[in-house]
Amino acid sequence: MIEVYKRILVAVDNSYDSKVAFDYAVYRASLDDCILDIASVVEDNDFNAYEILSKQYMSEKRLSIEQTIQSYKRIAEDDGVKEVNTFITEGDDEAGEIICKNLIPVIKPDLLVVGSKSEPGVRSLFGSQASYMVKHAPISVLVVRN
Q: What is the pLDDT of residues 6-23, one digit of tens each?
A: 999 999 987 888 999 999
Enumerate the domain spans of the chain.
Answer: 7-144
What pLDDT does 140 receive? 95
Q: Tabulate helix, strand, coil % of the chain (nearest 5).
A: 50, 20, 30
| 3-state secondary structure at position 42 | strand
CATH class of 7-144: alpha beta
For residue 58, the model assigns a pLDDT of 63
Whether residue 77 has pLDDT greater than 80: yes
Q: How far apart are CA 146 and CA 143, in angstroms?
A: 10
Other beta carbons less than 10 A from residue 138's beta carbon: 10
Whole-model pTM: value is 0.85
* Stretch 87-97: mean pLDDT: 86
Q: How confident is the model at residue 55, as a pLDDT?
A: 65
What is the H or E stretch that residue 67 is in?
helix 55-78
Q: What's the pLDDT band for 102 if we cut at 50, 70, 90?
A: very high
